[in-house]
Amino acid sequence: MNMSILDYFRIDSQKSATVAKERLQIIVARQRSNRSDSRALDFFIPKMQQELLDVVKKYVEIDNEQVKMHIEKEGDYEILEVNIPLPEEKLRKLR
């Protein structure tokens, strides 16, 4: 199945807020090829986090205090997980 990132932000009137929240969990994995990448990654990840938030804020009003970002290392991969809860009343207005 071929999905674009915009598909994650589409709101189907039959879907609940829970499903919308799950769609907004963005996981980005990047394989690290060597140690010099870690310095680049230290710059890359915070910048990407902010850009992801900026894109979501264009379409949905979010509470920055509720945004959860987590970086997990798994073998040669680093996974960035961004969880952005959407207020229920905002979803109703968009439907």
- What CATH number is given to the structural domain containing 51? 3.30.1070.10
- Kindly state whether residue 8 falls inside one of the protein's structural domains: no
Residue 12 is assigned to a structural domain of this protein: no
Q: How many domains does the chain have?
A: 1
Say if residues 56 and 76 touch (Cβ distance below 8 Å): no
Question: What pLDDT score does 57 carry?
Answer: 84
More confident residue, 20 or 75: 75
The pLDDT tens digits of the residues spanning 7-51 come to: 655 555 445 555 555 555 544 454 554 445 556 666 777 788 788
68 compared with 15, residue with greater pLDDT = 68
Domain presence at residue 2: no
Decide if pLDDT at 86 tops 60: yes
Containing structural domain, residue 23: 18-94
Asked, for residue 72, whether it belongs to a domain, the answer is yes
Dihedral pair phi/psi, residue 68, rounded to 5°: -115, 125
User: Phi then psi for 82, rounded to 5 degrees?
Assistant: -120, 120
35, part of any domain:
yes
